[in-house]
Structure 1
């Protein structure tokens, strides 16, 4: 009997694995193929991961040879000129998507492990995804599984009733009227950073060579801490540091390979350790908050919502009170400071590389903000600065992809998307499509936004730096106002150019960031 039970169990396990790894993906792909959608042929266990790696290796080898040849033709430490900076980073970071788009068309399929992906670069199809309000089009399940240590079941990763519940709590705390009330604390935090830069310039002479990335991360962390958590960066420094380390480890992880997230390898062990430590730290912050009295802020809203959970709510939503608190805090810590800090770094890099736009933006700031301290109304009047930020977000969007999963069979435009298929929209490929943005789509030109987003391109809904549809980023107003405060104060106090040591090398670490940071030559602005 024991032998029968054992072999019966093995048979059931085999049939489950066979269905999960072979039959289910095969059915999903077959349904798409019958509708004329093509893509590279996957392997059973890894999907198209080996092919993706080969494409990257070939490109890397070719790029290395080209770089060596270019090095022999140039003097070392030659100052970087704007025209020498290529913004066509999708071709080097996601060459497989570019290759398959050319080979199979604007809508194609591929797979990473057992995850079947429908990649959409067609603007009209993107519009269909944007207009879909059904909860059956949710976030990909790998976000709460493969990316679970970072995102868990927070607002960025969940779907259905869990997401709707979280959005109802978090989004109102980030509406424009509430964000406007945060401007003064943003100014205070930014002013403290700029005073440290002024001291550094004074000690080093007229010009200081500053790698601005870490400073901007600390600044953005301080702002999100004070605005949403009633504390400051120094109190949450370890949490931000560990989330940053977790982000780095996770960016090297391949999603979709069955069982890979359970393997006790070095990177998984590091992720598990960081996840455990971050949870402990956040719960410590929460305990301190409960024991003290604070003004009503986003953390307070999360705590009150968790406090009101009944056992029935926990079962219905499938998430415990502590997990609800920890995961949403992690989501806000990550999304609320990392993306804004990187956007600020890219904005300053582009202004340094394009001094004519730096001068235009500064002239506007000095004219509108005569006493040097911006308020919400002044920020709204800064049209040139808005154009600069919008163009930065076009070339270097905070999120790399819009990701969705069909939780049921769904019709989008003329395509029936099978249940379980992931939809992937590469934002950068839309943002740099010459058919949408014109022949200068790879160039920095804030002028394209002079009449607003609707007039900037042939297809307005192809501009999606904060996502799209009912899942658009809840913190977009906070991000835009924070960027305006930071950039306006820097422009009003400093002139800056790219350091000769700056190397333009965008890198994928869940977001697109400068691999070696952004180094600027900064000097105090002299006003006569």
Structure 2
């Protein structure tokens, strides 16, 4: 009898504990998946900021998927037409909600509340904010950690400020000018390869996919600038970085629902393995270069030797921290410095292939400014027409599609109070094509709009942000612009080109906006 009573009490206790556990789990689920987002949402709503109504747990994600699917079905299957406005196909939900709620609205992806901002004045405030309370969204930086480590592109707060202090001076204009020679050297193999392709076609014309060759050029520049080595030595690093980018880009960066978009274990293991291999290769290359500098005191110091010295001389960094600092920022410069620049160059050539008149203008300017000394560091800054072409290409096809921030603490931007935990998004292509800012020809390729500089090109200059703006301005901006000028000058002075029948216009978002099917052009030697 006593045993039966004891068993009955034990079962009641277990049942009570189980029920309590279930209730606590449901309360926790409600609090994290709904109440917290609802509280943030209400703080925005009382300020007059509206948006689509969310569902429990998933927020507006089901609606985003529905709009995306509808967009895919309604998009004409004619990739031969080159329409420059791709936002309605890549990000249709942002386009639809902007029409419904205006340039500022809020939406939810489950545990995350977002604020979409495309009002020029507020974008300016957002980009120029110097407070360390405002940083990169934590859930995105977590996903990017294998590719970028804790480098300058994804770090926040004092860590970011410290890294910027050490890294930024190495990309000042005077330092970039010293790299012009190695850029010219790096483009020569590409030119010879294309000349050989033309010769193989009886010297007439060759159909070439240029985007991969441009990746090779850009990678060679970074390899030489960082370690004084040719692309062949860093080829394995770049190849693995590209694989890692492809693997990570399978995850969605525009959602933040727990468990959604996670990759299978096999793919997760692939990411971890690639991350370790890349870090090992980078550190090995750093140490080899450091040893060469010690053995030959006259050996010219390269970019990462200067950054290494800056890290070593910073007393707040220990030995292990210095190693992490170097490896992480090397990954950042490798990715941002080579991938985005190569993609920008690809879009430039695609646009120039459509507009042979601008090829002629560039060719004439190069001959006048550079003459036989092509191109010297001093002459690069005087290439006004080339600069206009690049600026217009970056307006229509900025590699970075978004500026994203998270309020790490409650912060005031303009007349809007941003609660802690809210993520802000600015869709750059929308700003760059807004007719109210750029005029009725906003979707057309017209480099002449930049003839008097960015300040006169549009109604709100702060709406032109291919490299960002303010303290988070891309550190490699000067390097990228000079690289693009070198590429265009040398290619246009050697070749004429047009779009190949093989080209299919298909912008794709894979962490950056790139030509989904590559860029095929028909090239003739001058």
**Inter-partner Cα distance in structure 1 for 2:17 and 2:172:** 58
Tell me the equivalent position of 1:242: 240
Q: Return the alpha-carbon distance in structure 1 between the equivalents of residues 325 and 344 of structure 2.
A: 28
Determine the C-alpha separation between the residues in 2 that align with 1:243 and 1:20: 35
Cross-structure match for 2:376: 375
Which TM-score applies when normalising by structure 1?
0.90
1:517 aligns to 2:486 (yes or no): no
Alignment of 1:201-280 (within 5 A): 201-205=198-202, 206-255=204-253, 256-259=256-259, 264-280=264-280
Give the deviation of 1:272 after TM superposition. 2.1
Find the residue that maps to 2:412 and give its secondary structure.
strand
170-179 or 106-115, which deviates more: 106-115
| Aligned counterparts of 1:180 and 1:13: Cα–Cα separation in 2 | 60
8 Å contact kept, 1:143–1:152: no
| Correspondence for 1:142 | 139
Given that 1:169 and 1:301 are in contact with CA atoms closer than 8 Å, whether structure 2 keeps it comes out as no
Shift of 1:42: 2.6
Aligned equivalent of 1:292: 292
Q: Determine if contact 1:390/1:449 at 8 Å carries over to the other structure.
A: yes
Give the direction of change, closer, same or farther, for the CA distance of 1:460–1:262 in structure 2 (3 Å limit): closer
In structure 1, distance between residues paired with 2:338 and 2:246: 15
Q: Which residue of 2 aligns with 1:352?
A: 353
Larger Rg belongs to? 2
Q: Which residue matches 2:400?
A: 399
- The alignment status of 1:363 with 2:364, answered yes or no, reads yes
Question: More displaced, 514-523 or 278-287?
Answer: 278-287
User: 1:414 corresponds to which residue?
Assistant: 415
Assess if the C-alpha contact under 8 Å between 1:169 and 1:305 holds in 2: yes
**Displacement of 1:245:** 1.5
Out of 174, 179, 193, the residue aligned to residue 176 of structure 2 is: 179
Distance 1:380 1:27 in 2: 52
User: 2:152 is matched with which residue: 149, 152, 155?
Assistant: 155
**CA contact 1:145–1:152 (8 Å) conserved in 2:** no
Match in the other structure for 1:337: 338
- TM-aligned CA distance change 1:6 to 1:165, over 3 Å: farther
Q: 1:349 to 1:473 in 2, by over 3 A?
A: same
In the alignment, what sits opposite 1:25?
37
Asked if 1 retains the 8 angstrom alpha-carbon contact of 2:251 and 2:262, the reply is no
Does structure 1 conserve the Cα–Cα contact (< 8 Å) formed by 2:117 and 2:426?
Answer: yes
Distance 1:21 1:121 in 2: 27
State the distance in 2 between where 1:16 and 1:332 align.
Answer: 41
- How far 1:452 sits from its partner (Å)? 0.6
Q: Distance in 2 between matches of 1:49 and 1:479?
A: 36
| Counterpart-to-counterpart distance in 1, 2:231 and 2:39 | 50
Q: Answer with 126-135 or 472-481: which moved more.
A: 126-135
Other-structure match for 1:76: none
| SS at 1:323 equivalent | helix
The Cα of 1:177 is off from its aligned counterpart by: 0.5
Q: Distance in 1 between matches of 2:318 and 2:471?
A: 24
Shift of 1:136: 1.1
Other-structure match for 1:74 = none
Residues 399-458 of structure 1 deviation map (CA, whole Å, 9 limit, x = unaligned): 111111111111111110001111111111000000000001011000100111000001
SS at match of 2:107: strand
Q: In structure 1, what is the Cα distance between the partners aligned to 2:263 and 2:451?
A: 52
1:424 matched to which residue of 2?
425
Residue in 1 aligned with 2:64?
52
What is the deviation of 1:175?
A: 0.3
CA separation in 2, counterparts of 1:371 and 1:269?
A: 53
Residues 454-465 of structure 1: pairs in structure 2 closer than 5 A: 454-465=455-466
RMSD: 2.4
Relative to structure 2, which stretch is displaced further, 119-128 or 257-266? 257-266
Q: Residue 91 of structure 1 contacts residue 98 of structure 1 at CA under 8 Å; is this kept in 2?
A: yes
Once the two structures are superposed, residues 284-332 of structure 1 have per-residue CA deviations (whole angstroms, 9 ceiling, x without a partner) of 223323433153333223333444566x6469xxx94443222211111
Q: 1:210, 1:520 within 8 Å by CA — same for their partners in 2?
A: yes
Mark the runs of 5 or more structure 2 residues left unpaired by the alignment.
Answer: 1-9, 294-298
**TM-score normalized by structure 2?**
0.91
2:276 and 2:108 mapped to 1: Cα distance? 31
CA distance in 1, matches of 2:310, 2:53: 47
Shift of 1:355: 0.9
Q: Secondary structure at the match of 2:381?
A: helix
Residue 188 (str. 1) matches residue 206 (str. 2): no
Alpha-carbon distance between aligned partners in 1 of 2:373 and 2:52, rounded to the nearest angstrom: 56
Q: C-alpha offsets along residues 246-282 of structure 1, whole Å, 9 cap, x if unaligned?
A: 2122222024122558765343233222222222222
Counterparts of residues 87-98 of structure 1 (less than 5 Å): 87-98=84-95
| 1:22 Cα offset (Å) | 2.4
Q: How many residues align?
A: 506
In the alignment, what sits opposite 2:495? 494
Q: 1:289 to 1:373 in 2, by over 3 A?
A: same
Partners of 1:122 and 1:158 in 2: CA distance: 26
The answer for the alignment partner of 1:75 in structure 2 is none
Return closer, same or farther for 1:439/1:282 CA change in 2, 3 Å cut-off: same
Partners of 1:113 and 1:308 lie apart in 2 by 44
